[in-house]
Amino acid sequence: MWYGAALGIVLSLILGAIFIIIFYVAKNAVYDGAGKEIFEGAISWFASLLITILAFAMLRFYNIEARFKYKLESAARKVRRGSWASACCGPSKLTISGRSSTGVMCNWL
C-alpha cells in the first residue's frame, strides 16, 4: 500500500546523494561553463518528464465527481426498487439469548 511512497522517498534520497557526491568529487568543474548548462538541461528534462508522468496520473481523476454521482444514483435506484434495509444489508440470522430469529440487520446503523 505504501510501497510507492517509500520508493519515491528512497529514489529522492538516492538522487540527492548522487548530486552531492558529484558536486564534491568534481568540485566546480561540472558546475562551471558548459558543464553548468548541461547540468541545467539534464535537470530540466528530468523535471519535465516527472511533470508529464504526474499529469497523466492526474488524468485518471478527471471527471471523478460525475462518475461517483452516477454510481451513487445507480445504488439509490436499486434501493428504491426493493426494501431499503434488505437492499443495503441483506437478510441475516440474529440470535438473542438462545432464541433464533431470521430478519434484517444493518451493521453500519
Residue-averaged pLDDT of the chain? 76
In-domain check, residue 72: yes
The three cell numbers locating residue 63: 471527471
pLDDT tens track for 20-47: 887 787 766 666 777 778 878 888 999 9
pLDDT value of position 83: 52
pLDDT value of position 38: 84
Give the structural domain span for 79. Answer: 64-104
In-domain check, residue 40: no
In-domain check, residue 94: yes
Q: Is the pTM of this model over 0.85?
A: no
How many domains are contained in the chain? 1
Torsion-angle region of 104 (φ positive above 0: left; ψ -120 to 50: alpha; else: beta): beta
pLDDT value of position 109: 42
In-domain check, residue 109: no
In-domain check, residue 19: no
Of the candidates 96, 80, 99, the one whose C-alpha atom is nearest the C-alpha of residue 88 is 80
pLDDT tens track for 82-95: 655 555 555 544 44
The three cell numbers locating residue 60: 485518471
